[in-house]
Amino acid sequence: MCNIAKRSLLFLLLAAMIGSLLMTSTHTSAVNAETADPNPLLAEWEGRYGGVPPFDKVQVALFKPALESAMTENLAEIDKIAKSSDAPTFENTIVALERAGQTLDRVSTIYGVWGSTMASPEFQVVQREMAPKLAAFNDQVTQNAALFKRIETVYNSPDKKKLTPEQQRLAWYYYTNFVRSGAKLDAKGKARVAEINQELAGLFTKFSQNVLFEEDNQLITLKTEEELAGLPQSVRDAEAASGVTRKQPGTWVIMNTRSSVEPFLTYSDRRDLREKVWRMFIMRGDNGGEHDNNAIITQILQLRAERAKLLGYQTHAHWRLENAMAKTPERAMELMMAVWKPAVARVHEEVKDMQALADKEKAGIKIEPWDYRYYMEKVRKAKYDLDQNEVKPYLQLDKLREAIHWVAGELFNFKFTPATNVPVAHPDITVWEVTDKTSGKHIGLWYFDPYARAGKRSGAWMNAYRSQERVNGEITTIVSNNANFVKGKPGEPLLISWDDASTMFHEFGHALHGLNSNVTYPSLSGTAVARDYVEFPSQLMEHWLSTPEVLQKFAVHYQTGKPIPQELVDKINRSRTFNQGFATVEYLAAAILDMKLHLLGDKKVDARSFEKEALAELGMPHEIVLRHRLPQFLHVFSSDGYSAGYYSYLWSDVITADAFGAFTEAGGPYDRKVADRLRKNIFSVGNTIDPAEGYRNFRGRDPKVEALMKKRGFSG
Ligand SMILES: [Zn+2]
């Protein structure tokens, strides 16, 4: 399929920005692109399961020639469709496009996996070179006038009514995407849009690599035991391990990343060091000099505003939201502001609790942003008698993997079996075959890549390697789940936090969205849905972690094998809405600023003063800082992907909270009838129907915001 013009562009640009600067690839031997050996990245995927990605054959030097060759091939395919002398039909135009670009799809999938999990400095050079070229390629496709004419003819043809609903939506999808990319502009307008896109691609890559540079090159080294006061052993171990990798053995190193900074801020008794670590982290991209991102933000915003205007939209935000579920920036803003007030009110209560505790301890301080996590943890203990470290022994990574598989079996009748002899990018990765429990029918493959390593981006995410479809045969899904757990000692089970367990369920929800897909056309498959809808299936799955069925079977103590005591579960449940003020406000403030920035039009923006003024205007609590300050806001400035779209998490969570009610109102989380309805209307339909309609089919009505307010413990 002509994927690059559609879903893969976002994916490629995202991939272009990620990776850390540490990785020394094991595959460094140079490959001469001139040799007669065919480039293995271009080959059809071989092996069982309809073929699997040839991760064992990857060499960084292969990417550029493979991408270039695949782009040339795709352009030739598109040219043939565009220049056909036959009258345009759905079959010879739209379906032909769905069939084109398969080589490029395969190459860009592996390129994306390398960008996110195996990015060496050598690979980053390729990313910098390829990002503008891939952007230019995309414009070459969407600006092909003859091709657009054919798409437009099919879209406006009276014969369209004879097509199935899925086919009609696909025709609309192509038509609207081409128009939104500038297909209707004159030659001058098209040329300018293409120029802007290439300039943006370069700026996105620069923005991301600047953040990564500061994350990688700034650190705080602790040399004495006194500096470790308050830190639990697991945090000390991780910091000592960082000391070794940073060639400072015998010291404890705080890296400038979220996973290193947050535990320190939570547990360190040393207020002076907390402030130092906090400042290092929140200043990423904002330190002046060659890695400062402020000027890049100004440039990106100007280019986006100019492009939106050229394309006929009031602002970039209006352009981005047109095909989202929210439809307009105003609707998204309305929801955010409705949640903002009660969330801020909750923060004031949280701060009051923390201040009271600090006063009781005679700390003689006023709560500052670097105190929030520290006192929050103390309040949690005081109020709910809940110590996060008490929960951990019951949460073993391997057991939780069994748990998510079991839940998929209960809800969707899936069975997971280890698939051996499938090539992987790294020996830590395992592969599982997914089949139907009853019929044994093959459904897809699930790759699991749980451990941190150099060259792998931080955080957790899902990736689709191959989308289910039926245009090119019975093509089955291949997905992966990725995380960054620090490997435990050999032979010992790896214990994870409740939050990390919840994230595992979340990412697995994305995987299930891909695996359940049951559509005809690849462009509409699996997770290829509106940005503000795609987090709904994943956030929904988080709810199954705390079901008694999962806890009793899988949350078992790593030494005794006994299930987690009910008393501890009760404490977890009671503290569920704890700290929701903080979590909501640090996220929501960033989402509101993202939207406001992209509603400014072509006004020249100074990022520093905008951030300051906008937060003051919002009434941002002094004790909290943005989850992502603008100079490090990768969601918004590493691609167009989440720009004017960071609100999506909240939008999706409204739907999520409301949807779980369908289970609790019926027979509970494992009600088979509700699960069947969920699969039929949500998990299997991809983008073949309007999401709002899909949701109504599942729930019988539109989502209501009340469930979200209740879930977060806010009074609306
Ligand atoms: Zn997600």
pLDDT, tens only, 375-386 = 999 999 998 888
The pLDDT score that the predictor gives to residue 27 is 31
The pLDDT score that the predictor gives to residue 212 is 84
pLDDT in tens, 640-696: 989 999 999 999 999 999 999 999 999 999 999 999 999 999 999 999 999 999 999
Nearest residue to 477 (alpha-carbon basis) of 463, 490, 489 = 463
How far does residue 530's CA lie from ligand 1's centre (Å)?
A: 13
The pLDDT score that the predictor gives to residue 241 is 87
Q: Is the confidence at residue 708, as pLDDT, over 90?
A: yes
Q: Which two tokens stand for residue 178?
A: 């081409």
Contact by Cβ (8 Å): 524, 173:
yes
Lowest mean pLDDT among 58-72, 108-122, 459-473, 485-499: 485-499
- Please report which confidence band the pLDDT of residue 47 belongs to, taking 50, 70 and 90 as the band edges: very high
The pLDDT score that the predictor gives to residue 162 is 96
- Please report which confidence band the pLDDT of residue 318 belongs to, taking 50, 70 and 90 as the band edges: very high
Average pLDDT estimate for 21-27: 25
How far does residue 625's CA lie from ligand 1's centre (Å)?
A: 23
How far does residue 540's CA lie from ligand 1's centre (Å)?
A: 10
How far does residue 192's CA lie from ligand 1's centre (Å)?
A: 34
- Please report which confidence band the pLDDT of residue 716 belongs to, taking 50, 70 and 90 as the band edges: low
Q: Is the confidence at residue 333, as pLDDT, over 60?
A: yes
Question: 415 φ, ψ to 5°?
Answer: -125, 135
- Please report which confidence band the pLDDT of residue 473 belongs to, taking 50, 70 and 90 as the band edges: very high
Per DSSP, the three-state class of 449 is strand
How far does residue 512's CA lie from ligand 1's centre (Å)?
A: 12
Q: Which of 507, 535, 586, 623 is catalytic?
A: 507
The pLDDT score that the predictor gives to residue 411 is 98
The pLDDT score that the predictor gives to residue 1 is 33
Query: Does residue 507 carry a catalytic annotation?
Result: yes
Nearest residue to 675 (alpha-carbon basis) of 686, 658, 660, 654 = 660
How far does residue 694's CA lie from ligand 1's centre (Å)?
A: 19
CA distance 84 to 590: 48
The pLDDT score that the predictor gives to residue 2 is 32
Nearest residue to 148 (alpha-carbon basis) of 117, 170, 189, 179 = 179
Q: What percent of the chain clears pLDDT 90, i.e. is strictly above it?
A: 82
Q: Which residue has the higher pLDDT, 2 or 531?
A: 531
pLDDT in tens, 402-446: 999 999 999 999 999 999 899 999 999 999 999 999 999 999 999
The pLDDT score that the predictor gives to residue 565 is 95
Question: Near ion ligand 1, which residues have CB within 5 Å?
Answer: 535, 538
How far does residue 90's CA lie from ligand 1's centre (Å)?
A: 34
Q: What percent of the chain clears pLDDT 70, i.e. is strictly above it?
A: 95
Average pLDDT estimate for 184-200: 97
The pLDDT score that the predictor gives to residue 681 is 98
How far does residue 428's CA lie from ligand 1's centre (Å)?
A: 23
**Alpha helices, H only, 666-705:** 672-678, 691-699
The pLDDT score that the predictor gives to residue 630 is 98
Average pLDDT estimate for 367-394: 92
How far does residue 649's CA lie from ligand 1's centre (Å)?
A: 8
Q: Is the confidence at residue 577, as pLDDT, over 80?
A: yes
How far does residue 466's CA lie from ligand 1's centre (Å)?
A: 18
Contact by Cβ (8 Å): 39, 66:
yes
The pLDDT score that the predictor gives to residue 542 is 96
- Please report which confidence band the pLDDT of residue 36 belongs to, taking 50, 70 and 90 as the band edges: low
CA distance 579 to 349: 10
The one-letter code for the residue type at 474 is E
How far does residue 645's CA lie from ligand 1's centre (Å)?
A: 13
The pLDDT score that the predictor gives to residue 3 is 30
The pLDDT score that the predictor gives to residue 294 is 98
The one-letter code for the residue type at 87 is A
Average pLDDT estimate for 483-508: 88
**How high is the mean pLDDT of the chain?**
92
Question: 7 φ, ψ to 5°?
Answer: -70, -30
Q: Is the confidence at residue 6, as pLDDT, over 60?
A: no
Q: Is the confidence at residue 10, as pLDDT, over 80?
A: no
Question: 622 φ, ψ to 5°?
Answer: -60, -25
Average pLDDT estimate for 12-25: 27
CA distance 121 to 127: 10
Q: Which residues pair with 485 in a beta bridge?
A: 451
How far does residue 468's CA lie from ligand 1's centre (Å)?
A: 19
How far does residue 112's CA lie from ligand 1's centre (Å)?
A: 17
